[in-house]
C-alpha cells in the first residue's frame, strides 16, 4: 500500500466498523458490534473521491485509529479483520466489552 484513494480507505473503514458521521467534515467513528459508539475516530480529506491520500496523512489516520501505521495498512488492505482490530484496541485499553 502506497498512497491509497480516499474511496478505498473510506470503504475499508466502513467494512471494519467505522460509520461516517453527517456533517461538515468526512469524519468516521468506530462503533462496537453491539452498536456502542467509541471515542476512536478519523477523518479523510474533502478532495475528489479518487484523490490519493498521502503516506503522511495515512500515518496520521493510523494514529487517530489508535494503531500503528503497519496495522492501519493491514486494516485497509483487509488482512486485519474487524475482530483483530477490536482485539488490538482492547489489548491496548482503548475499548472495553
Whether residue 35 is contained in a domain is answered as yes
| Per-residue pLDDT, 4 | 85
Residue 77 forms part of a structural domain: yes
Helix 82-91 vs helix 69-77: angle between axes, to the nearest 10 degrees? 160
10 Å CB burial of residue 84 (0-12, 13-18, 19+) is middle
Q: Quote the pTM value.
A: 0.87
pLDDT-based confidence at residue 26 (cuts at 50, 70, 90):
confident
Domain range for 10? 4-91
Residue 65's alpha-carbon distances to 29, 40, 44, 48, in angstroms, are: 9, 6, 12, 23
Is-contact 72 61, C-beta < 8 A?
yes
Q: Is residue 49 over pLDDT 70?
A: no
97 within some domain: no
Tally of domains within the chain: 1
Amino acid at each position: 500500500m502506497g498512497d491509497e484513494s480516499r474511496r478505498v480507505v473510506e470503504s475499508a473503514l466502513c467494512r471494519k466498523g467505522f460509520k461516517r458521521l453527517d456533517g461538515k467534515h468526512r469524519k468516521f467513528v468506530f462503533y462496537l458490534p453491539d452498536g456502542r459508539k467509541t471515542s476512536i475516530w478519523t477523518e479523510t480529506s474533502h478532495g475528489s473521491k479518487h484523490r490519493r491520500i498521502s503516506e503522511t496523512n495515512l500515518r496520521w489516520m493510523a494514529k487517530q485509529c489508535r494503531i500503528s501505521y503497519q496495522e492501519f495498512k493491514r486494516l485497509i488492505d483487509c488482512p486485519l479483520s474487524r475482530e483483530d482490530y477490536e482485539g488490538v484496541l482492547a489489548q491496548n485499553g482503548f475499548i472495553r466489552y
